[in-house]
Amino acid sequence: MSPDPDCLFCKIVAGAVPATVVLETRRTLAFRDISPQAPTHVLVIPRDHHRDVAELADASPETLAELVDTARAVAADEGIDAYRLVFNTGAQAGQSVFHVHGHVLGGRAMTWPPG
């Protein structure tokens, strides 16, 4: 899919908006969240624009698999073996940037239920 010129994460992928990148693959980019909710809070995104995780799963399951593998690698690189990987889908679920992104959260105990 082509980049969305109004999408913040597409701009990060293009290098037009700075981010603290922690890991890159051919299909994915991982960078620190600017408003962390845990000691480790990294966003993992596909380089291609997809609105949400369901759209990505339909369009490119191999990219979704790489995104999850990138999240695992981020956790390992951060030295955490227990982490949460969260995808918010839709505004009511808390999605505020409509470019699919997984939140890698760790470094502290997570409670249940979230939110």
Return the active site residues: 101
CA distances from 4 to 38, 67, 70, 82, 88 (A): 29, 19, 23, 34, 19
15, β-bridge pairs:
none
CA separation for the pair 72, 62 (Å, rounded):
15
CA separation for the pair 66, 30 (Å, rounded):
12
DSSP conformation class of 89: -
